[in-house]
Amino acid sequence: MNFDPPQDFVQTHLHYNKTMNTELLGKIKNALKENGFSRISSIPVDSDMAAVRYFQNPFKADAFDIRDIVKGVFASNNNPQNFRVYRFPDPKGKDAYGWVEVWLPASRPVVAPSPTPKP
């Protein structure tokens, strides 16, 4: 028998690079909340990757939903990212039931195209 836990069991941990634009981080949190993911924590890290990790199979679909929401926020901010989804073993000594980790990349300055010289 498959058990599909309620969405409010999902604990979303946003691991964000310390250089990340705080406005973008706020947009991600709001988008997750608007889609029913209310248990969100933010953790500053030195990592610079775009990935989603889940630890138990019942939360696989939630991990993909969260990935799609976060990808949409980045895309709407003119910064598309390819977030890969991974299943990790449960961390030892921790109660990771419902954990979904989102590893957010560092913010990059937007480079405007060089203006075309006029003849």
pLDDT tens-digit map of 66-92: 999 999 999 998 888 999 999 988 776
Residue 113's alpha-carbon distances to 87, 110, 116, 117, in angstroms, are 39, 9, 9, 12
d(CA 84, CA 28): 17
pTM: 0.83
Tell me the sheet residues that pair with 87: 54
| pLDDT band for position 1 (cuts 50, 70, 90) | very low
**For residues 67 and 28, is the Cβ–Cβ distance under 8 A?**
no
Q: Which residue has the higher pLDDT, 57 or 5?
A: 57
At residue 113, does pLDDT exceed 70?
A: no
| pLDDT band for position 2 (cuts 50, 70, 90) | low
Residue spans per domain, the chain: 8-98
Q: What is the mean pLDDT of the chain?
A: 85
| pLDDT band for position 42 (cuts 50, 70, 90) | very high
Mean pLDDT of 23-47: 94
Q: Which CATH number fits domain 8-98: 3.40.50, 1.20.1530, 3.30.70, 3.30.300?
A: 3.30.70
